[in-house]
Structure 1
Amino acid sequence: MKSDRSVTMTERVFDLGAKLIAVLVAIFLVTPILVIFPLSFTSDSLMIFPLPGVSMRWYVDFFTNPVWLTALRNSLMLAVVTMVVATVLGTLAALGLVRLSRGWRSVVSTLLLSPLIVPVIIIGVGTFFYFARLGLAGSFFGLVLAHTVLALPLVVIAVTATLEGFDPNLVRAAYASGASPFPAFWHVTRPLIMPGIATGATFAFITSFDEIVCVIFLGGPEFRTLPRQIWSGAKETVTPTIAVAAVLLVVASVVMTLVVEALRKRAQRLSKGAAT
Structure 2
Amino acid sequence: MAACVYASPMEKGWYYLHRCICGAVLLFLIAPILIIVPLSFNSVPFFTYPMAGLSLRWYEEFFFTDRWQGALHNSIFVAVSVTLLSTVLGTLAALGLSRPNFPWRAAVMGVLISPLVVPIVITAVGVYFFYAEVGLLNTYAGLIMAHVTLATPFIVITVTATLMGFDHTLARAAAGLGAPPITVFLKVTLPLILPGMISGSLFAFLTSFDETVVALFVAGPAQRTLPKVLFSGIREEISPTIIAAATVLILFSIAMLTSVELLRRRSERLRGI
TM-score bin, normalised by smaller chain: over 0.9
User: Cα offset for 1:137?
Assistant: 1.5
In structure 1, the partner of 2:241 is 241
Structure 1 counterpart SS, 2:166: coil
User: Cα offset for 1:64?
Assistant: 1.6
Structure 1 unaligned regions, length at least 5 = 1-6
Range with greater deviation from structure 2 (85-94 or 35-44): 35-44
1:259 aligns with 2:269: no
Tell me, in whole angstroms, the C-alpha distance in 1 between the residues paired with 2:171 and 2:98.
14
* Count of matched residue pairs: 267
1:123 aligns with 2:123: yes
Q: Is the 8 A contact 1:85 1:148 kept in 2?
A: yes
Trace 1:67-216 onto structure 2 (pairs within 5 A).
Answer: 67-101=67-101, 104-216=104-216
Residue 194 of structure 1 aligns with an amino acid whose one-letter code is: L
In structure 1, the partner of 2:51 is 51
Residue 162 of structure 1 aligns with an amino acid whose one-letter code is: T
Residue 160 of structure 1 aligns with an amino acid whose one-letter code is: T
Structure 1 residues 15 and 187, CA gap change in structure 2 (3 angstroms): same
Q: Is the 8 A contact 2:96 2:102 kept in 1?
A: no
In structure 1, the partner of 2:4 is none
RMSD: 1.5
Structure 2 counterpart SS, 1:40: helix
Structure 2 unaligned regions, length at least 5 = 1-6
In structure 2, the partner of 1:24 is 24
Q: Is the 8 A contact 1:36 1:247 kept in 2?
A: no
After the TM superposition, which parts of structure 1 deviate over 3 Å for at least 4 consecutive aligned residues?
A: 7-10, 100-103
Tell me, in whole angstroms, the C-alpha distance in 2 between the residues paired with 1:121 and 1:103.
32
In structure 2, the partner of 1:3 is none
Tell me, in whole angstroms, the C-alpha distance in 2 between the residues paired with 1:148 and 1:136.
15
Q: Percent identity?
A: 46
TM value normalised by structure 1? 0.93
In structure 2, the partner of 1:12 is 12
Residue 179 of structure 1 aligns with an amino acid whose one-letter code is: A
User: Cα offset for 1:177?
Assistant: 1.3
Tell me, in whole angstroms, the C-alpha distance in 2 between the residues paired with 1:132 and 1:89.
25
Tell me, in whole angstroms, the C-alpha distance in 1 between the residues paired with 2:179 and 2:31.
55
Q: Is the 8 A contact 1:36 1:246 kept in 2?
A: no
Tell me, in whole angstroms, the C-alpha distance in 2 between the residues paired with 1:134 and 1:14.
60
